[in-house]
Amino acid sequence: MKNKNYILFDLDGTIIDPKEGITKSIAYALDHYNIHIEDLDSLCKYIGPPFREIFMEDYGFSREEVEKVLSKYRERFSKLGVYESTLYLGMDDLLKNLRDKKLIVATSKPTIFAEKILDYHNIKQYFHFIGGCELDGERSTKEEVIKYVLDYNHISSRDEVVMIGDRKYDVFGAKENDIESIGVLYGYGGFEELSSAGADYLVETVEDLLKLIKG
């Protein structure tokens, strides 16, 4: 890991636990369409993957309808959800200890929300660059987001880069861009999902993540 000069971080389930903000905002959006969610924990599977595809698969929304659902979701999330998350224990120390690296956020969340969340937790200053999707759906996959941050920052040597995330989408996105990946088991994917996806490394805690990167 000592040769990794660019450390790409997923946001949800990797840097922060966004459970409260995301699940409450999804429930709010679905309730508008008479889909009533009693158990917010049942919505945890939506933490990580792009919403559009999953909403269409699980609830049968058309592409036009799903944009309206997303608009309703963001109606609540932009006002409340961005402040309903917790920083994983030890994350602030990890970021401080990696100041000799170029730290980059690569998230499927819209960039504007990612920036607000990082500001709220007072950790935005640790990141060299924050890359996410656009509100109109541009760069909706993790593969596209990773490619965008690599291209924008003119990072050509893939051996110097590693992607950290908690879901299979982070691993697949890394593979498509020819970079290694670290799966974090404290997030929402879990061992089976991350190992089956082919993560190059797996860590159980934030402390273990720091030890791996620092060597």
45-87 pLDDT, tens digit each = 899 887 888 888 899 899 899 999 999 999 999 999 999 999 9
Q: What per-residue confidence (pLDDT) applies to 49?
A: 81
Is residue 155 very low, low, confident or very high in pLDDT (cuts 50, 70, 90)?
very high
β-pairing, 180-184 with 161-165? parallel
Is residue 162 very low, low, confident or very high in pLDDT (cuts 50, 70, 90)?
very high
Indicate if 190 and 91 belong to the same structural domain.
yes
Provide mean pLDDT across the span 184-211: 98
Provide mean pLDDT across the span 179-201: 98
The answer to whether residue 1 is domain-embedded is no
The answer to whether residue 158 is domain-embedded is yes
This prediction's pTM: 0.95
pLDDT at position 94 over 80: yes
- If one compares 58 and 177, the residue with the highest pLDDT of the two is 177
To which H or E segment does residue 175 belong? helix 168-176
Residue with tokens 């640790």: 126
Q: What per-residue confidence (pLDDT) applies to 166?
A: 98
Q: What per-residue confidence (pLDDT) applies to 53?
A: 81
At 18, which amino acid appears? P
Closest of 45, 74, 56, 44 to residue 136, by C-alpha: 74
Q: What per-residue confidence (pLDDT) applies to 124?
A: 98
Provide mean pLDDT across the span 124-146: 92
Indicate if 23 and 105 belong to the same structural domain.
no
Q: Which residues neighbour 211 within 8 Å (Cβ) at sequence distance 6 or greater?
A: none
pLDDT at position 129 over 90: yes
Write 137-140 long-range contacts (CB < 8 A, 24+): 137/52, 140/50, 140/52, 140/108
Q: How many separate domains does the chain show?
A: 2
Q: What per-residue confidence (pLDDT) applies to 137?
A: 72
**CATH number of the domain bearing residue 57:** 1.10.150.240
Q: What per-residue confidence (pLDDT) applies to 73?
A: 95
Indicate if 112 and 206 belong to the same structural domain.
yes
Active site residues: 10
| Residue 27: domain span | 19-83
Indicate if 55 and 38 belong to the same structural domain.
yes
Provide mean pLDDT across the span 161-170: 97
